């Protein structure tokens, strides 16, 4: 059989492995349970793809990222390595075809989301296969106190009961020591080999920039660092507004968030991946699992919730090894705003108990009762009915799912509508309901006789109305009997335990409170990282993740400030012939920290060597 080095060369064209790829691959091939912690761009996927090629049977890859699954399946098939994925986008017939190909030995790697492990039919089909390796990608999602917890990850260890001889490989980009311990424990890794690679990236520079006007500063940074970029913002609305602003400034930009229709998300991702210039303004839903090496800049407009989240997102820059920057804008009140947002979504003990009580009452479940069947749940309706705070309710229900009290199952990718009345026959005034009905008839042929998938987002965009208003109007039309409307917001709820008021009110409340304290501490660590100006940014990050760096990076804003010197004569020479705007001056001296340039200009103005020429321009004073 060919060696792992020969397989690497044959299929991927690389002559050598990056450390510790080969060591991880050897451990997996020897049947050792393994935890691999490699930074973004460290080549985690090869650590299970090469053993899959070299082993008999199937490698099951568990990942929360549909984009990663699709991208890797396409690339593996292009290389001649059989790969398939089972996602929510496949119907029952398509899933059956995938399993048939697995049975015939045509598939080496089968990618699935962790939620699939909750499906009885999936497990029944999986049992028929010869699973030799189980790879768990984004393994930090299993950590109860991690920044990106997924309740479904807790079920992964059940696969070991079905395939006790299978080797398990867990992979993640970031895992502080406590998170590592929890991954090993939760996945029940036996005699686990742990491999780590330093998070230090010689080509990636971390910067925090104080910003009074983040949009102008954003334009400056993107022009200073031409190339493909990601700009992270907190809200979906902000992604659209910032992208529009950048387009007006003649920068190639687009926006992305999780609520976009799947087809549009796929198209935007493809366009950005192929582009060498485009900036994608996104919530943190974007970038994970997308194989794009030439991202030059990752910019955060708001404080992330934790250093784990920040390093994961910042690490998407410079995977090709070329110079790249991770920039965090820090507005004067950023820390207070982040704390206020955290606190506003934090229920106190009485609110926690009320939400739990109303949740059971919504389904009319009595003490010690447990419904055996799945129940339909509409979150928006629930919040409105009991006049609850949306963010606090989400936090409590997410916690109940973490603790395996309930499980939520999304019922559909799209909303559906069937119309019972043609708008031509209705005597409605020319109002929003009429516009929606006319849109549905025009864009969905056959909707008067069959149920059709619709996108509230597309309707809202064409009619120039908020998505929330479109959903509300559709619901009213459904109540009035003009249409049947099934919202994609509908979920199924499965109750895993009976209603136990004392357990939920007291035992779980203590755990909930403890979780919020830990999350608050992580936010405080993030705030300290951003606000301090004495310690090298990279050293702080490496220490947080358990490393002991000896040297400063020499390139972050803190290190640069310590050695920054600007030649004022060069500034005067640039300003001597004609007035220059502040933006023109900053772009001319891009290699100097912005604060140093502005400070030097102020000094020259104080000395009477430069003067204002217009509102936003300066010129040298002739003497």
The two tokens of residue 371 are 């419904």
379, part of any domain: yes
3-state secondary structure 454-517: ECHHHHHHHHCCCHHHHHHHHHHHHHCCCEEEECCCEEEEEECCCCCHHHHHHHHHHHHHHHHH
Decide if pLDDT at 289 tops 60.
no
Judge whether residue 472 has pLDDT over 80.
yes
Within 10 Å of residue 370's Cβ, how many Cβ atoms?
Answer: 12
* Residue 554 within any structural domain of the chain: no
Asked if the structure places residue 367 within a domain, the reply is yes
309 shares its domain with 267: yes
Assess whether 450 and 596 both reside in one domain: no
- Domain CATH number, residue 137: 3.40.50.300
Residues 116 and 182 in one domain: yes
What is the average pLDDT across 164-189? 90
Query: What are the pLDDT digits (tens) for 400-431?
Result: 988 889 988 776 667 889 988 777 776 666 78
Q: Are 159 and 167 a contacting pair, CB within 8 Å?
A: no
Q: Which residues constitute the domain of residue 516?
A: 340-412+491-521
One domain for residues 156 and 224: no
Instruction: Compute the average pLDDT of residues 199-210.
Output: 94
In a domain, 547, yes or no: no
Q: Is residue 132 a part of any domain in this protein? A: yes
Asked if residue 586 is part of any domain, the answer here is yes
Residues in the chain: 623
Query: What total number of domains does the chain contain?
Result: 5
- pLDDT grade, residue 27 (50/70/90)? very high
Please tell me whether residues 221 and 295 are part of one structural domain. Answer: yes
Sheet of 58-62, strands arranged across: 83-86, 109-112, 58-62, 131-136, 167-172, 34-37, 193-196
Same domain, 366 and 429: no
pLDDT in tens, 302-323: 999 999 989 989 999 998 889 9
Cα–Cα distance, 439 to 434 (Å, whole number) = 8
Report the pLDDT value the prediction gives residue 563, as an integer from 0 to 100: 60
Rounded Cα distance, 622 and 251, in Å:
37
pLDDT score for 265: 84
- Beta-carbon neighbour count of residue 137 at 10 Å? 25
Q: What is the CATH number of the domain that holds 348?
A: 1.10.10
Which comes out higher in pLDDT, residue 115 or 370? 370
- The reported pLDDT for the residue numbered 479 is 84
Q: Which residues contact 458 (CB under 8 A, 6 or more apart)?
A: 261, 443
Does 154 have pLDDT greater than 80? no
The residues pairing with 59 across neighbouring beta strands, listed in sequence order, are 109, 133
* pLDDT-wise least confident of 286-290, 340-344, 457-461: 286-290
Is the per-residue pLDDT at 112 higher than 80?
Answer: yes
**Which residues, 6+ apart, have CB-to-CB distance to 345 below 8 Å?**
389, 391, 392, 394, 395
What pLDDT band is residue 622 in, cutting at 50, 70 and 90?
confident
Across 137-141, 201-205, 534-538, least confident range: 137-141
Instruction: Give 368's pLDDT tier (boundaries 50, 70, 90).
Output: very high
Q: Is residue 408 part of a domain?
A: yes
Q: Which of 196, 213, 229 is the last residue of a domain?
A: 196
Whether 103 and 155 share a structural domain? yes
User: Is 539 within a domain?
Assistant: no
Q: Among 118-132, 210-224, 511-525, 584-598, which stretch is predicted with the lowest mean pLDDT?
A: 584-598
pLDDT at 228: 95
CA distance linking residue 131 with residue 458, whole number of Å: 42
Mean pLDDT of all residues in the chain? 89
Q: If we measure between CA atoms, which residue out of 300, 289, 295 comes closest to residue 277?
A: 295
Report the interhelical angle of 214-224 vs 236-248 (nearest 10°): 60
List Cβ neighbours of 389 (8 Å cut-off, separation of 6 or more): 345, 347, 351, 383
Helices (H) and strands (E) in the chain, counts: 26, 22
Span 281-285, average pLDDT: 86
Q: Confidence band (pLDDT; 50, 70, 90) for 562?
A: low
Task: Say yes or no: 271 and 364 in one domain.
Answer: no
For 94, half-sphere exposure in the C-beta direction (CA atoms, 13 angstrom radius) is 8
User: Which H or E run contains 112?
Assistant: strand 109-112
Confidence of residue 595 (pLDDT cuts 50, 70, 90): confident
pLDDT at 103: 94
Number of Cβ within 10 Å of residue 369's Cβ equals: 12
Distance CA 74, CA 377 (A): 36
If you average pLDDT over residues 495-510, what whole number do you get?
A: 95
Mean pLDDT of 47-57: 96
What would the mean pLDDT of 137-159 be, rounded to a whole number? Answer: 76
- Check pLDDT > 80 for residue 432: yes
Query: Which token pair is 146?
Result: 């991690």
What percent of the chain has a predicted confidence (pLDDT) above 90?
52
The mean pLDDT of 190-216, rounded to a whole number, is: 93
* pLDDT band (50, 70, 90) for residue 98: very high
> Does residue 189 share a domain with residue 90?
yes
> Are both 281 and 268 inside the same structural domain?
yes
DSSP assignments along 557-570, one per residue: HHHHHHH----HHH
Instruction: Give the CATH number, domain containing residue 590.
Output: 1.10.10.10
Greater pLDDT, 591 or 18:
18
Q: Is residue 133 helix, strand or coil?
A: strand
For the entire predicted model, the pTM comes to 0.77
Q: What is the CA radius of gyration of the chain?
A: 27
* 496 and 387 assigned to the same domain: yes
Q: In the predicted model, what is the mean pLDDT of residues 19-41?
A: 93
- Please name every residue paired with 483 in a beta bridge, in sequence order, or none if there are none: 419
Q: How far apart are CA 437 and CA 425, in angstroms?
A: 11
Same-domain check for residues 517 and 447: no
Minimum mean pLDDT among 193-197, 324-328, 451-455: which range? 451-455
- Between CA 192 and CA 319 the distance in angstroms is 28
- Out of 487, 511, 532, a domain closes at 487
pLDDT at 604 over 70: yes
Mean pLDDT comparison of 72-76, 482-486, 586-590, highest-scoring range = 72-76
Q: What was the pLDDT predicted at 160?
A: 84
Looking at the predicted structure, is the pLDDT value of residue 152 above 80?
A: no
Q: What percentage of residues in the chain have a pLDDT greater than 70?
A: 96
Rounded distance between C-alpha atoms, residue 554 and residue 538, angstroms = 9
Domain boundary among 276, 309, 332: 332
Could you tell me the pLDDT band of residue 146, with boundaries at 50, 70 and 90? low
């Amino acid at each position: 059989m060919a060696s792992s080095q020969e397989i690497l060369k044959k299929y991927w064209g690389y002559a050598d492995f990056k450390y510790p790829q080969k060591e991880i691959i050897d451990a997996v091939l020897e049947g050792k349970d393994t935890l691999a912690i490699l930074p973004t761009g460290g080549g985690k996927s090869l650590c299970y793809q090469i053993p899959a090629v070299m082993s008999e049977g199937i490698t099951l890859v568990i990942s929360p990222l549909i984009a990663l699954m699709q991208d890797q399946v396409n690339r593996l098939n292009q290389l001649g390595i059989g790969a398939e994925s089972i996602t929510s986008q496949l119907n029952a017939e398509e899933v059956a075809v995938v399993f048939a190909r697995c049975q015939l030995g045509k598939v080496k790697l089968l990618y699935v989301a962790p939620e699939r492990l909750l499906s009885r039919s999936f497990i029944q089909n999986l049992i028929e296969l010869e699973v030799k390796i189980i790879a768990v990608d984004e393994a930090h999602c299993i950590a109860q106190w991690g920044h990106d917890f997924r309740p479904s990850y807790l079920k992964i260890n059940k696969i070991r009961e079905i395939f006790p001889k299978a080797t398990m490989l867990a992979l993640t980009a970031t895992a502080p020591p406590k998170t590592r311990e929890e991954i090993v424990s939760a996945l029940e890794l036996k005699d686990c080999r742990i491999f780590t690679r330093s998070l230090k990236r010689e080509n990636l520079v971390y910067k925090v920039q104080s910003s009074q006007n983040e949009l102008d500063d954003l334009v400056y940074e993107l022009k200073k660092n031409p190339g493909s970029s990601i700009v992270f913002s907190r809200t979906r609305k902000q992604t659209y507004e910032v992208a529009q602003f950048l387009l007006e400034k003649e920068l190639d930009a687009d926006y992305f968030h999780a609520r976009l229709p799947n087809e549009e998300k796929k198209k935007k991702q493809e366009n950005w991946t192929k582009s060498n210039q485009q900036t994608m303004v996104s919530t943190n839903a974007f970038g994970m699992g997308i194989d794009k090496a030439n991202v030059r800049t990752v910019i955060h407009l708001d404080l992330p919730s934790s250093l784990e989240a920040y390093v994961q997102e910042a690490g998407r820059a410079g995977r090709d090894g070329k110079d790249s920057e991770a920039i965090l804008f820090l507005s004067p009140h950023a820390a207070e705003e982040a704390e206020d947002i955290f606190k506003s979504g934090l229920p106190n003990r009485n609110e926690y108990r009320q939400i739990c009580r109303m949740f059971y009452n919504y389904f009319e479940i009595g003490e010690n009762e447990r419904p055996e069947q799945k129940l339909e749940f509409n979150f928006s309706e629930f919040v409105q009915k009991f006049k609850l705070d949306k963010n606090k309710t989400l936090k409590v229900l997410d916690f109940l799912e973490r603790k395996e009290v309930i499980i939520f199952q999304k019922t559909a990718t799209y909303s559906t509508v069937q119309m019972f009345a043609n708008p031509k026959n209705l005597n409605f005034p020319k109002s929003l309901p009429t516009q929606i009905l006319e849109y549905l008839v025009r864009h969905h042929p056959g909707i008067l006789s069959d149920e059709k998938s619709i996108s509230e987002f597309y309707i809202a965009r064409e009619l120039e109305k908020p998505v929330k208003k479109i959903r509300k109007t559709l619901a009213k039309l459904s109540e009035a009997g003009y249409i049947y409307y099934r919202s994609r917001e509908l979920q199924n709820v499965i109750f895993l335990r009976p209603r136990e008021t004392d357990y939920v009110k007291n035992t779980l409340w203590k755990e909930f409170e403890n979780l919020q304290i830990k999350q608050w501490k992580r936010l405080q660590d993030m705030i300290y990282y951003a606000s301090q100006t004495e310690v090298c940014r990279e050293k702080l990050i490496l220490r947080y993740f358990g490393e002991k760096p000896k040297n400063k990076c020499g390139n972050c804003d803190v290190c640069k400030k310590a050695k920054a010197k600007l030649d004022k004569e060069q500034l005067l020479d640039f300003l001597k012939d004609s007035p220059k705007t502040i933006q023109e001056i900053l772009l001319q001296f891009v290699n100097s920290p912005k604060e140093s340039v502005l400070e030097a200009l102020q000094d020259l103005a104080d000395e009477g060597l430069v003067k204002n020429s217009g509102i936003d321009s300066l010129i040298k004073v002739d003497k």
